[in-house]
Amino acid sequence: MCGAPSQGRAGLEAVDLTRETVIQGCVRRDGAPVAAAYVRLLDGTGEFTAEVQSSAEGQFRFFAAPGDWTVRVLSAAGRGEVSLTCDRGLNEAELVLA
């Protein structure tokens, strides 16, 4: 159902966004990117689905199904969470850590 390729913004040229649901974003604290944060994808019921580490630039990406998702970040720099209703195409999930 979900998978995560190498993190970063490059590489979507070959992805058909009319058929795929992509959830991507950046983890930040005080305006600076947070590297190596654990970014978790939870389904609409709150069940764990996937996890990646943010890139050196704080970026992350998941390929998922359309629907309700929560992106949760755990890091030594703080925690954050955002809920999204995603459709096919590119869905942005910017996370600011508290």
Report the CATH number that the domain containing residue 58 is assigned in CATH: 2.60.40.10
Is 78 a member of any domain? Answer: yes
- The whole-angstrom separation of Cα 52 and Cα 67 is 20
Pairing between β-strand 48-53 and β-strand 59-64 as defined by DSSP bridges? unpaired
Say what the pLDDT of residue 18 is: 85
DSSP assignment of 8-52, as one string?
Answer: SSTT-TTS-TTT-EEEEEEEEETTEE-TT-EEEEE-TTS-EEEEE
Amino acid sitting at position 84: L
**12 lies in some domain:** no
Give the domain extent around 72: 21-96
pLDDT score of 80 more than 50: yes
Mean pLDDT confidence for 66-93: 96
Does residue 16 fall inside a structural domain? no
pLDDT value of residue 4: 43
For the stretch 20-77, pLDDT in tens is 999 999 999 999 999 999 999 999 999 999 999 999 999 999 999 999 999 999 999 9
pTM across the whole model: 0.85
Average pLDDT over residues 6-18: 71
In a domain, 36, yes or no: yes
Into how many domains does the chain fold? 1
